[in-house]
Structure 1
C-alpha cells in the first residue's frame, strides 16, 4: 500500500510486527511485504517501544503476551507519544473486552489462530479508516454539542461538563460518526463496515464492547443511556437533545 508522499516520492505504509514467535512473525512479514507494505519486526516489549520511536509505523500488530513488557504496557506507552493504529493479537476470545477497553486502547484485534487473509484484510481496513480520518472534510470537523457533551472532531477531544474525557481512537470515531448522523439508527453490521472499515471480516461483538465502554465514559447512568441509545433488534443511535 503506497499512498504517502515525501519529496515527490511515493512512500509505502509502515507496519511493525511485535511477536516473540519468530516463525509467526516471519509469515506475517512475508504476506504484508507482498502487499507492498514496509515491514519491521520486534520480538519483545522493550524492543517494540524502541522500534516505534525509530521506525515510526502507521500500524502495529501487537501480541498481548510478550517477554520483558507485555502488550498492555507497550500499547499504553506508545499511545502517549505516537499516532498509530494498533491491532492486538490475543490467544483467548475472553480477552477481547480487555483489549478493546480503556486500559489497552487497541483499535482492533485478531484471535489466534487466524488466517493470513483475515489479518491482511484487517490491516487494510484499519489503514484505510485512518487515512479517511486524517483527510476529513472541514464541515465534518464542526463541533457537536449534545447536552453537556461536546465533541470536537478537529481537535480529537470530547468534553463532558468542561472536563476532558479520555477515549480510544475507535471509541472517538464511533461517537463522532453516530453524532454526525444524530437520530439515525445504525446496524452493528453497518457500523462495523463504516467505522471499522471491514468489508467482510469482523465480529459484531466488537461494536457492542466499544459501545459499552463508550457509555461508561459519556453517560451519567450507563445502564440507562440517554445519549448513545439502543434500538432493540436494530442497532445504535445518538439521541438528539430535542428528542425527549
Structure 2
C-alpha cells in the first residue's frame, strides 16, 4: 500500500481525509503539528506528505523547509483558499502542488495520484536520484532536485527546477506555456497567470547569456519557451 502522511492540526478534517484515503487504498498516518510532521516525514518511508500551512508550534512553510533539507519526498500543501502568498512561497521552496482548503476528499486524492504519477514516471527514488538529465553544460538530477551549470551548483527554487526540467527534457524544441504548466504543475495554465514568465526570467538571470549575448532560454511571444542546446 502507498504510505501517505497527513500533517494538519484540524483533527476532524484529518479524520475525514484519512478515512477516505484508506478506502481508496492508501496507508495513512496523521500528526497534528509541524514539528512532529517533520520528524515523521524524514524518519519513515512515505510516498507523499500532505502538509497544512497554518499549524501550531511550526508553520507548514517552515516544516516544508526542514523536510526539503533532508528529503525529496513529494509534498502536497494545503492552503487557505485565495492565500496566494503562502501558496507561491510553498511551491518555490519545493512543494510539488497545493490544494486550497476547504477541499473535498476526492479532489485531494486526485492531486495525490497526479503527483505520484509524475514521480513514478521518473522511476524509483534511488534510480531517479542517480539519473542525470544533461543538456550542454546543464546537469539536472530530478530525483534529488539537484542542478549544476558549467560544473558549479545551480541554486534553483522548487518551481524553477520543475520549469527548467521541462525545458531540458524538450531541449531545442519550442514548448508552449500551456504544455509547460501541465508538465511542471500537472494543471492547465490559468488565464492571466504570469508565474511561468516571472520564474523563467529568474532562471535566465542565473544561467547568464550565451557567447552571442542572447539568453539560453528563448521565447516566442504568445507561444512559449525553448532551451537552447549549445
* TM-score bin (small chain): 0.7 to 0.9
> Which residue does 2:20 correspond to in 1?
31
Q: Is the 8 A contact 2:135 2:229 kept in 1?
A: no
CA shift at 1:176, angstroms? 2.5
Of residues 89, 93, 98 in structure 1, which corresponds to 2:83?
93
**1:151 to 2:139 alignment:** yes
The C-alpha deviation readout for 1:222-244, integer Å capped at 9, x for no partner, is xx981233322222321343xxx
Of residues 95, 98, 101 in structure 2, which corresponds to 1:106?
95
Instruction: State the aligned residue count.
Output: 217
Where do residues 147-226 of structure 1 align in structure 2 (5 Å cutoff)?
149-153=137-141, 156-168=145-157, 171-196=160-185, 198=186, 203-204=189-190, 208-209=194-195, 212-213=198-199, 215-217=201-203, 218-220=206-208, 226=215
* Further displaced range: 89-98 or 18-27: 89-98
**1:62 to 2:47 alignment:** no
Structure-1-length-normalised TM-score: 0.76
Query: How many Å separate the matches in 1 of 2:17 and 2:165?
Result: 32
Structure-2-length-normalised TM-score: 0.80
Of residues 116, 120, 130 in structure 2, which corresponds to 1:131?
120
Q: CA RMSD in A?
A: 2.9
The C-alpha deviation readout for 1:156-197, integer Å capped at 9, x for no partner, is 53223432023355543432231231232222332333343x
Deviating runs (4+, > 6 A) in structure 1? none
* Further displaced range: 89-98 or 34-43: 89-98
> Which residue does 1:16 correspond to in 2?
5
CA shift at 1:45, angstroms? 0.8
Q: Is the 8 A contact 2:64 2:90 kept in 1?
A: no
Q: Is the 8 A contact 2:3 2:45 kept in 1?
A: yes
